[in-house]
Structure 1
Amino acid sequence: MTTPWLEDARALQSKTVAFRRDIHQHPELGLNLPRTTAAVRTALQGLDVDIVQGTSNSGLIVTLKGDPAGATILLRGDMDALPMDEDTDVPFKSRIPGAMHACGHDAHTAMLVSAVHLMHAHRDRLAGTVKFMFQPGEEGDFGARHMIEDGLLDLAPAPTAAFAIHISPNIPSGVIASKPGAFMAAPDQIAISIKGQGGHASTPHLARDPIPVAAEMVMALQALVARRIDAFDPVVLTIAKIEAGTTHNVIPESAHMLGTLRSFSERARAKAHEGIRRIVTKIAEAHEMEGHVEITAGYPVTVNNAAFVERVRGVTSALLGEKGYRDMPSPVMGAEDWSYVLQRLPGCMVFLGVAPPEVKPAHAHSCHSNRMVMDEDAMAHGVALHAAIAEEYLASAR
């Protein structure tokens, strides 16, 4: 059942690569991606599919109708880039200053476009309907939630399962990896401000210096993680920015810090939130200062349906061989707004390895690196897996 999908996906490889390189050179940020969306529409011209766009963003739902009595599966590719300059030497590097496809969303979109073509050419093999979710705004803009709020997932026939692929340069090329349960973390943003009293650097006793207080808070926050959070329900807390002061001989009035909290359960998340607020306010009070915390909640934990992961394992092994699938020993602390879809539908996300052939996966530049590159040959595996999962799920749901 699965082998022809891989052969046909490889036959489409030149088009998959060309599409990926085109949008790689023209990355767009956020929820509104006019060029990328237009490129998807152009690539699908002439196919017998329905295309609906959301009212609040550039998200598209492309529907390939099959047996009306059958089930419906949703497949997703995100389309937005990151706000960073590219520092690679590939001939198709970004032409847009301050924007780069450093997280592989160009590959996700290209694979999904080719998957539409692949399944359209073999509609007779599909015992139901396939919906393709081309999503903007994954990089912190809640694009999946916006598409859900626009009602795009409720359009008849509504999907009954969902599947997504995310590339990873740190996994061997062409290998699929996943796990049941918690797959990716919930990310929260932490903003801390400390208000003291400015003064001359030579007389700190006449001022209230927020800088050593900020340093004390950073160390106390790390102790919170190590000593107050269950090691078997872990969190990661990183203070990534500290800002204070103007020159060498002035004690500033205030200090500001930014950081991120990653967690895999609401229990650990809530305990960390409580601890962060307590540490900031109490340490500030101990030094006769004011401490304030603002925690901005990010995406929920991405949780894979265990039964669907087993389905993917079986399909992948048939498609790519027994070594084509790897069990992940633990989740990753990155985050995904695919979590909103998996709260509504049974399904899962998998990683597709795209490590460059000349680099050991552990040494490859990871997603979100300004030097991230990928093995494009692996995209054929992603295209074929989209089709194979859709075929197997629709057949089993009859």
Structure 2
Amino acid sequence: MSEHAPEIESYLGTTLTASPTSPLKHRYCALADTLDSRAELEVIRRNIHQHPELAFDEVRTSGLVASLLETWGYTVTRGVGGTGVVGTLRCGDSGHSVGIRADMDALPIHERTALPYASVNAGRMHACGHDGHTAILLGAAKQLARTRNFDGTVHLIFQPAEEIGAGGGAERMLADGLFERFPCDAIFGLHNHPGVEQGTFLFRSGPFMAACDTVTITIRGKGGHAARPHQSVDPILVAGSLVMALQSVVARYVDPNETAVVTIGTLHAGHAPNVIPDNARMEISVRSFNPEVRASVENRIRQLATSHAEGYGAVAEVDYVRGYPVLVNSERETEFARQVAEELVGAGKVVDQAARIAGSEDFAYFLQQRPGCFVRLGNGANQPLLHNAGYDFNDENLTVGAAYWTRLVERYLAS
């Protein structure tokens, strides 16, 4: 029995519709060149959407990716950094190489779209569009294989576990020797962007997406009877006061010309209305774009939590975990990627030096080791936001993204 859905199985073994001597040779990919793949990519994308898999559990998804790449003539390496897949295609005799990355994992969200291809895995959903990112790169993979209009080596990197924070897929792939095993002169990645017109490309050189840190503060007081608070040290009182005090970290300790975010996402304490609990626990998300600001915010949170608790007679334990670093696009590669987008869709659908994004991305780890650019692609002005139970990837972007990656590789590895 085949491991693939029948509708996808029909594409495995499909004869490529162009060859290295095709008329497409010696001109770069245009939007029209990928239109014949639209139906195929939509089937693949929706099939992945219907069967979402969480971080490092992308077994079905990575198996599908690997099978399609092998069918199209790629040298495929499975199990990179866990469930990661790298497809390699060489053409010509140039020693130059480029990497393109797509992420594959879903989120622990219960889907509420009522779409015919909605998730069949309860509590798991492609609410960030990684199904679309994967399908886009597969579309580019097929187009590059059938035209082979480049001179060098392209590595298509299908990454697991982008969503989990520290210890995610990018770090695992790098620890598994990604760039040693698959050398890349530069690396590029893409993410869809709800709230912006579909098919519009967003670029920014330098810091583009924020570093993301997670802080857990445990306040240890002294429990007791609700009627005798003077005999206790109330951790809820301390926590409530600390929530307000933490708002001063950005307002009064970060240069107004810089950007940082401190958000208290959870606060838990107690189980009964007539009991003062022993402990309270809060979890905080911290975002920043400047390494010095990042260090300063961490130091201030530690100091504030410790001294604040002591002032009430309690003790604060601070567990500060640094997650993804700031995503910094290199200037040269960003300008190159922007030029490719303008050639493909026109200057009217390209935004240069777009606003910085407080969200985070583990693609930042790749950019710490290789020059490159992370691109945002508009998913539609009125589309639901990312990480929302009503979100869906815009299939109009499938051929746009596939054409973009194809043209970028062709231009980067031009003869």
Q: Is the 8 A contact 1:2 1:318 kept in 2?
A: no
1:75 alignment counterpart = 100
Assess if the C-alpha contact under 8 Å between 1:302 and 1:338 holds in 2: yes
Task: Specify which of 71, 76, 90 is matched with residue 51 of structure 1.
Answer: 76
Code of the aligned partner of 1:384: A
Contact in 2 for aligned 1:184/1:301 (Cα 8 Å): yes
Change (3 A) 1:349 1:30: same
Counterpart among 173, 183, 186 of residue 208 in structure 2:
183
Counterpart secondary structure, 2:118: coil
Residue 153 of structure 2 is aligned to residue 134 of structure 1:
no
Q: Under a length normalisation based on structure 1, what TM-score does the superposition of the two structures give?
A: 0.94
2:177 to 148, 151, 155: 151
User: Paired residue for 1:333, among 349, 358, 365?
Assistant: 358
Rounded Cα–Cα distance in structure 1 between residues aligned with 2:213 and 2:89:
37
Specify whether residues 339 and 89 from structure 1 end up closer, same or farther in structure 2 by C-alpha distance, changes over 3 A only: same
Aligned twin of 1:394: 413
Preserved contact between residue 70 and residue 394 of structure 1 (Cα < 8 Å)? no
Q: Flag the 1:55–1:173 CA change in 2: closer, same or farther, 3 A.
A: closer
- Aligned amino acid, residue 399 of structure 2: A
TM superposition shift of 1:138: 0.5
Alignment deviations for residues 113-133 of structure 1 (CA, whole Å, 9 cap, x no partner): 11110000111x102111100
Aligned counterpart in structure 1 of residue 392 of structure 2, from 339, 362, 373: 373
1:217 and 2:236 aligned: no
C-alpha distance 70-7 of structure 1, shift in aligned 2 (>3 A):
farther
Unaligned runs of 5+ in 2: 1-25
Provide the secondary structure at the position in 2 that maps to 1:90: coil
Q: In structure 2, which of residues 189, 195, 220 is the aligned counterpart of residue 164 of structure 1? A: 189
Q: Is the 8 A contact 2:86 2:156 kept in 1?
A: yes
Secondary structure at the aligned position of 1:292 is classed as strand
Letter in structure 2 aligned against 1:393 = Y
Q: Which amino acid is the alignment partner of residue 36 of structure 1?
A: T
- Of the three residues 34, 55, 59, the one matched with 1:30 is 55
1:328 Cα deviation from its structure 2 partner: 4.2
Match of 1:8 among 33, 41, 52: 33
Residue type of the alignment partner of 1:338:
F
Counterpart CA distance in 1 for 2:264 and 2:56 is: 27
Greater Cα shift, 1-10 or 110-119: 1-10
| 1:106 aligned residue | 131
Cα offset for 1:201? Answer: 1.3
Report deviation, 1:55.
5.3
Amino acid at match of 2:127: A
Q: SS at 1:194's partner residue?
A: strand
CA change 1:69–1:3 in 2 (3 A) is closer
Across the aligned residues of Structure 1 and Structure 2, the Cα RMSD in angstroms comes to 1.4
> What secondary structure is seen at the aligned counterpart in 2 of 1:145?
helix
CA positional deviation for 1:19: 0.4
Residue 238 of structure 2 aligns with an amino acid whose one-letter code is V
**Could you say which residue in structure 1 is the equivalent of 2:289?**
264
One-letter code of the match for 2:135? Answer: A
Contact 2:69 2:87 in 1 (8 A): no
How many residue pairs get matched? Answer: 388
- Deviation string, structure 1 residues 295-333 (Cα, Å, up to 9, x no partner): 111011110011111111211111101112112442101
Is the CA contact (8 Å cut-off) linking 2:66 and 2:78 kept in structure 1? no
Aligned AA for 1:265?
Answer: N
Shift of 1:2: 6.8
Aligned equivalents of 1:388, 1:280: Cα separation in 2: 51
Amino acid in the other structure paired with 1:134: F
